[in-house]
Each structure stands twice: as structure tokens, then as C-alpha cells.
Amino acid sequence: MQQALEQAKLGAGKEEVPVGALLVHDGKVIGQGYNAPISRHDATAHAEIVAIRNACQNIHNYRLPENTTLYVTLEPCTMCMGALIHARVKRVVYATQEPRAGMLGSQLNLAKQPFYNHRIDVQHGLYQAKSAHLLQSFFRSRRANKKRMAEVRAGSNGA
């Protein structure tokens, strides 16, 4: 999970929401990524999707090897859960919950839906505090920057 947090920090450095993901098989990293929808101009470029794409290119297959684990700093959304199911990820370990759109318990638990042909084991809480702090700091800074910019615009309009 520490490496997933490092990926999240890379994204934050590019002004992306700091979410990082790592795919591991047999103790080896086979894919990694961070949120990049803004820089890639791609609404689907969530950390999980980027990591899946990276892994699939590395292994030359659209499905991941059996017993692959995804470590991700934030609870996956609906889109990412669909991709994880289709890629055949065995286990997801996420750090912190996403109360608005999390699909592994916060809003719904897609891993427990009986109609899917693949099951995903889920664990959460590993590095929860560090991940939550990274996200909170990012959004606090973003809000402060927006406020400063609004004040600058208001000041220049009054001159």
C-alpha cells in the first residue's frame, strides 16, 4: 500500500486527485497508476484503470493472472469495479472509504452481487489514515487556491 500512496502523491503533484493503485501477482508489481483524467483528457483514467491497462500491457493479456491483488488508496467507484471484475482481479485492498461513490461498502457492495460471474475478496483500512490525510490535504489546498484566485479577481475588478 505504501507504493500505492507514492503513486497517489505523483498524481497530486500533477494536480490530479491523489489516488494511487498497484497490481501485485506472486509478490511482484505487474501494474501501477495514479488518477490522471485531467492530464490524459480521459474520464476513465482512474488509478485502478490506469494500473489495469499498465498490467495488461506488461503481461500481454487482457485478463490478469489468477490471484492478482489490487492495492488502492481509495475505495473503487462503479466504473472501476466493472473493470476489476472483467480483468479478473482476485482481491482488492483499499485504504480509505469513498462515502459518496464507493462501491465496496460505502454506497453499495458490488463485490457481493450474485449476478457477476467473478468474485472479488475485499479488505480495507490498510494505511487508512495516511490516505485520508493525503486526500483531505489535497482538497483543502485546492479550496484555498480557488479562494485566493477569487480574491485576486475581485481585487483586480475593483481597481
Q: Which residues are catalytic?
A: 48
| Annotated binding residue 56 | no
| Annotated binding residue 77 | yes
Rounded Cα–Cα distance for residues 44 and 141 (Å): 24
Residue 35 bridge partners (DSSP): none
Rounded Cα–Cα distance for residues 25 and 69 (Å): 7
Contact between 35 and 6 (Cβ < 8 Å): no
Kindly calculate the radius of gyration of the chain based on its CA atoms and give it in whole angstroms. Answer: 17
| Annotated binding residue 80 | yes
* Residue positions forming the annotated binding site for Zn(2+): 46, 77, 80
Binding-site annotation, residues: 46, 77, 80
